[in-house]
Amino acid sequence: MSFSDDDAELFREAVADARPLRDDRVVLAGPRPPPTPVQRLEDERAVMHELLDDPPLEVGCETGEELLFARPGLQHSVIRKLRRGAYSIEGQLDLHGMRVAEARLAVAQFLAAARTRGQRCVRIIHGKGNGSALKQPVLKIKVNHWLRQRDEVLAFASATPTDGGTGAIYVLLRRL
């Protein structure tokens, strides 16, 4: 394709005011992101998973076995009152029919809500394990383990027979 002299003249007139660019480089990408320590993050995630993982079911935990736990320094009179059911129960969670993962989430949410509402003593009904496949108290063992790991739990004890006996526990919560 060839241009006539008239076309060339028109082009020169159109670009007469144009100035050359000082920097003709094009930036193709933004700055690089900082490096991510992928292996360290995976290691930390594995440690957290291991810490939160449940221990295997303890063999020999009888259905009738009472649960009792108290943080060091808690007065004996407080523990005695808890075991007798002397504190008024301000909230209750029933875990019957739940699987372990559901129960774990339910316990965590229940305790958080109870603390938010300022409740000090709550009851968790975990059952005696009569309906489990192993005829062992699966949730009772798990709840025992979970509650010991939670800082907001000062103490817990199996309930009195009128409140569920060894199928339920009273939980004493730390104040906010």
Question: Quick one: which of 98, 94, 97 has its CA closest to 168?
Answer: 94
Higher pLDDT among residues 134 and 56, named by residue? 134
Residue 26 has pLDDT above 90, yes or no: no
Dihedral sign of CA atoms 169, 167, 61, 48 in order:
negative
CA angle 27, 32, 36 (to 5 degrees): 170
Percentage of residues of the chain with pLDDT beyond 90 = 50
pLDDT for residue 128: 85
Local structure of 107: helix, strand or coil: helix
Residue 69 has pLDDT above 60, yes or no: yes
DSSP state string for 57-100: PPTT--TT---EEE-TT--HHHHHHHHHT-SPP-EEEE-TT--H
pLDDT at 61 over 50: no
Give the residue-averaged pLDDT of 14-19.
88
Which pLDDT does position 59 carry in this prediction? 39
- Quick one: pLDDT at residue 63? 43
Q: Domain 1-176 belongs to what architecture?
A: 2-Layer Sandwich (3.30)
The overall pTM is greater than 0.85? no
* pLDDT-based confidence at residue 36 (cuts at 50, 70, 90): confident
Q: Which residue has the higher pLDDT, 18 or 64?
A: 18
Write the pLDDT tens digit of every residue in 87-145. 999 999 999 989 999 999 999 999 999 999 999 999 999 988 776 666 678 899 999 99
Q: Would you state the pLDDT for residue 135? A: 66
pLDDT of residue 62 exceeding 80: no
Residue 175: the pLDDT is 87
Checking if the pLDDT of 27 tops 60, the result is yes
